[in-house]
Amino acid sequence: MKKSIIINNKELIFDLDLVAKQANASVLLTCGKTVLLASVAREDSKVSEDFLPLTVSYVEKTYAAGKIPGGFVKRETKPSEAETLTARIIDRTLRPLFADGYLYPTHIVVMLLSCELDVDLQPLALYAASAALSLSDIEVKNPAVGIRIAKDANNEFIINPTLSELENSSLDLFVSGAADELLMIEMKANETNDSMNELSEEELIKALNLAKNEISKISAEYKKVFYEHKKSFEFDLKAPSQNADIYEFLEKNYLKEVKQAINNLAKSERNSELNKIADEILQNNPEFNPEELNYELHKFKKSIVRKQILNEKIRADGRGLDEVRPISILTNILPNAHGSCLFTRGQTQALVVATLGSANDAQTIENLTLKNSSLEKFMFNYNFPGFCVGEASALKAPSRRELGHGNLAKRALSSSVSKNYPHTIRLVSEILESNGSSSMASVCGGSLALKAAGVDSKKLVAGVAMGLIVEDDNFAVLTDIMGLEDHDGDMDFKVAGSKDGITAMQMDIKLGGISPHILELALEKAKNARLHILDIMQKANDEIVVNYDILPKLSIFKIHPNDIPELIGQGGKTIKDIIEKFEISIDIDRDKEEVTLSGQKVEEAKEYIFANVLKKHRKKVEFNVGEEYKGIVKKIAPFGAFVSLKDGVDGLLHSSKIKNLNLKEGDELNVVVSEIKDNKVGLNLV
């Protein structure tokens, strides 16, 4: 049986009973030459723990693009970061749809079986997964779908763009929801024409309204097409272990003790205090059921937290609703790292370290929807060891959450660094203490770590996590939430940006929707907090002392195509000897006819290459005193500026002749040859 739905002028064809018939539900989605299989499988028995046992997997088969996997093992192994992030988008969209008390282990698998170039796979993967869930016997009130929004050259919104359209867009916004309720938002500002392209709060609201209207239409069509074929089943949903007598007992006898436990802000301390209270109650009241007591105690704790915020406008740590926790910043505390920042906000602390590398250090990204692999020159790794929350857990490979937080920080910061920046950049955030918003602390620390490494980033970027408490018609928006408010609240809303607008955001809503008024208020309060944090970061930035002695240096020069084999040498011997001799890296761009040297001894290596390797091939360049040139500043040194003249030859404009000019690399200058001495060209300003 085939069903079709038109989305953004593209036909999506769903085969409902063709494949994977032993799964609870499955669909084969075809859009053009792209084919995805989505399946839902569940166990018949429930888990004993009180959590939703849902797993979402997204797998891209390389045969989908007519390729064989690279590497030693010629088969698909662990998911790539891109696959994991896609699985997270599906999970975060579908998870809120499951009924409370659903405890049946469930696995949603989406497999890419065929793909064509220039296709954005994330929306299609969510469409397939949602269709399979809509056909399964799992009760879902409304189907969830998502769309991506970009901008064209005329600043007009594009719905579900191609990858090439997205590449040229200043905006990357992914929104998912069910019916008229938004469930998840991910947004990123893309650099174009050397601009960060921050999005204003007003523009974001406009884009979200467009997304909401489109999602509502698609969700209604899904319900119409798939729900008539939905399987039926009555689930034994676990009812909460409620005991009104225990709750009343806690209200009368343990209000003060639970409030004190709440004020122990660290998660480990808070749980320890609550466990002590539970043990004391059971000792004095052995007739109480431990499971019921534990449920009522945590329900009572949550109620106190929420009522105190809504009625008294006071948070567990005594802050006002709009108050940001105290911030302290230390930069370049690691003497042999290129750049470092220890950013502390309340009980959340991130040590973010920047490392600069050459083009050879860029991360190779395999994308099945692109002809060739791409190189990622801006990387962000986020690590969350157990000790940061007082847990004695083993160090493991990065979890899905760690990959997601690292990706969020990367999206927030990437547009602040020019795409043409010559170094490869790797930022690593080590979370040393965590009580809420460690990803946003990573953004703040990462922005300053870039500055501490001497990176000429366009603007400082800060991030803040917002929360929400809603009871009937009463609500409170919380600024800079801690872990307790994240756990017991109704929204996790992270916003990052510069003083001029938003560069990235991520929102997950537990309510099943959010009103436009609350969203606008949250964005306004996030902006105020962001500007407050940026003021503190600016003061720290003004005091940064860059350790130029350990930073890698770059030298870029032109090379004739006929000289490239000479530089490489037979079997690569010459270039390997140079790399070993001067402890540098060498990157040769044949298309640009350009050589890039990176390391500490680049000038010595460059002189060696021209004097000993390319000497017999080099064309002698003649200069005469009095000749004028329009040159480009290639490098600023303490004694002057090196200016590119012609055929890869630089001249020196001495510092005594620069006067009051504030020169920087890339500036154009009109210069005249003032002297030629020992094959070195001296310059004056025209």
Binding site, annotated residues for Mg(2+): 486, 492
147 is written with which tokens?
Answer: 């769309």
User: What is the Cα–Cα distance from 588 to 559, expressed in whole angstroms?
Assistant: 9
- DSSP output for 277-336: HHHHHHHH-TTS-HHHHHHHHHHHHHHHHHHHHHHH---TTS--TTPPPPEEEEE--STT
Decide if 453 contacts 341 (C-beta within 8 A).
no
Q: Which of 320, 323, 307 is nearest to 474 (CA)?
A: 307
User: What is the Cα–Cα distance from 481 to 484, expressed in whole angstroms?
Assistant: 8
User: What is the Cα–Cα distance from 303 to 489, expressed in whole angstroms?
Assistant: 11
User: Cβ atoms within 10 A of the Cβ of 205, count?
Assistant: 14
Decide if 496 contacts 484 (C-beta within 8 A).
no
Termini Cα distance of the chain: 78
> What residues contact residue 448 under an 8 Å CB cut-off, 6+ apart?
329, 331, 341, 343, 352, 460, 537, 540, 541, 544
Decide if 299 contacts 247 (C-beta within 8 A).
yes
SS3 of 79-142: CCHHHHHHHHHHHHHHHHHCCCCCCCCEEEEEEEEECCCCCCHHHHHHHHHHHHHHHCCCCCCC
Decide if 246 contacts 292 (C-beta within 8 A).
yes
Element (H, E) at 46: none
Q: Which of 510, 440, 543 is nearest to 482 (CA)?
A: 440
- Residues comprising the binding site? 486, 492
- DSSP output for 406-466: HHHHHHHHGGGS-TT-SSEEEEEEEEEE-SS-HHHHHHHHHHHHHHHTT---SS--EEEEE
- DSSP output for 513-576: ---HHHHHHHHHHHHHHHHHHHHHHHHHHHT----GGGS-EEEEEE--GGGHHHHH-GGGHHHH
Decide if 319 contacts 325 (C-beta within 8 A).
yes
